[in-house]
Structure 1
């Protein structure tokens, strides 16, 4: 990897969040959404939404109309995070990419197989709740169930879902309350700017999720 490429990879923890959000917009043309954040109240971290039972503290949209609030403007993104520097960085799916979501153990197994097969792999996130999300071309949500069936598997029997229109992923360095931060298992670089189609990656993912289910 050249120094130029390395300089363009969003840092996982050291870069200020406004800078990271702007990089996602400018370098990947991803729309970004400023979500909730973590607050410390009485010595306890909780989600800014105020729900003590929040399922994803600090890492979900703050408003019901979040899909309309996502922006592809670097100027708007910087202003949003300068106003709320602790806000999570959320990326709407179904626009410039979809994401195939699998358990962490299955994700790392699939990733190793993909590398051995020399497949094109896009960015991949690893979340604190032990999930991995593989970024693929938009439209995957509609085709993945049929692709799984074509491989002789039943979609409902696998812990594999596809996030498309109306969904989102949390991007590094977003933190989940008490669990840690989202990280890149494979960072965005100029080399993986062009995303794979879900059809290219589905076989290793189905194989890995099948093994995970048998465990």
Structure 2
């Protein structure tokens, strides 16, 4: 799996976003805001108690420990200011990095197996791709232009599928993605399957990616 991710990354231009490993959450959040103009908001974080890690939310059965919003008004707290982002993470350096969707981008979330199948097909088709994340809970998120969530059900229907039959979720306004190097409990960290680079600053529209993604999700059922 690591080799697959590394291979995809090596084919891209060297970007300015920090490497997944070694960069602090603070500096990474600042650079997402500064260089990609993404809104960022600090989420929960991991705490160690009795030798085990748990989510700062206090829920023992938290489904995404250390990688979800820390407060109900998280969306209004999100900022595109590098200065404000720095101030936020200075207060809590361990906070996860959350990127609200429905603003500068939306995301199409699919199972990891379908995501890699679609990614290979997209590359053969020489499609323009934006950043793609890979999460420890085995999901991939393909970044696309805003508006995807309003279109995806009809686009899938035209391809002969029904959206409920596919494990394909459009993340739009009111949702978020956890950004690298955010950690999900003991399961590992969010990674880039395709890193943000100067070459993929301009995102594709959902229409460009929906066919290979729907096909891959249909195969993955």
| Bin of the TM-score, shorter chain as denominator length | over 0.9
Is residue 182 of structure 2 the alignment partner of residue 166 of structure 1?
A: no
Return the alpha-carbon distance in structure 2 between the equivalents of residues 173 and 165 of structure 1.
23
Is residue 84 of structure 2 the alignment partner of residue 69 of structure 1?
A: no
Runs of 5+ unmatched residues, structure 1: none
Partner secondary structure for residue 220 of structure 2: helix
Select the residue among 27, 32, 42 that pairs with 2:50: 42
| 1:10/1:188 contact within 8 Å kept | no
Q: 2:162 corresponds to which residue? A: 154
Runs of 5+ unmatched residues, structure 2: 1-8
Q: 2:6 corresponds to which residue? A: none
How far off is 1:10 after superposition?
2.5
TM-score by length of 1: 0.96
Select the residue among 55, 61, 74 that pairs with 1:53: 61
User: Structure 1 stretches (4+) deviating beyond 3 angstroms?
Assistant: none
How far off is 1:7 after superposition?
5.3
Return the alpha-carbon distance in structure 2 between the equivalents of residues 201 and 138 of structure 1.
14
Is residue 37 of structure 2 the alignment partner of residue 29 of structure 1?
A: yes
List aligned pairs for 1:1-215, cutoff 5 A: 6=14, 8-213=16-221
Partner secondary structure for residue 22 of structure 1: helix
Please provide the CA RMSD for this pair: 1.0
Return the alpha-carbon distance in structure 2 between the equivalents of residues 7 and 73 of structure 1.
20
Return the alpha-carbon distance in structure 2 between the equivalents of residues 107 and 42 of structure 1.
37
Return the alpha-carbon distance in structure 2 between the equivalents of residues 65 and 9 of structure 1.
27
Return the alpha-carbon distance in structure 2 between the equivalents of residues 57 and 174 of structure 1.
10
Return the alpha-carbon distance in structure 2 between the equivalents of residues 7 and 27 of structure 1.
10
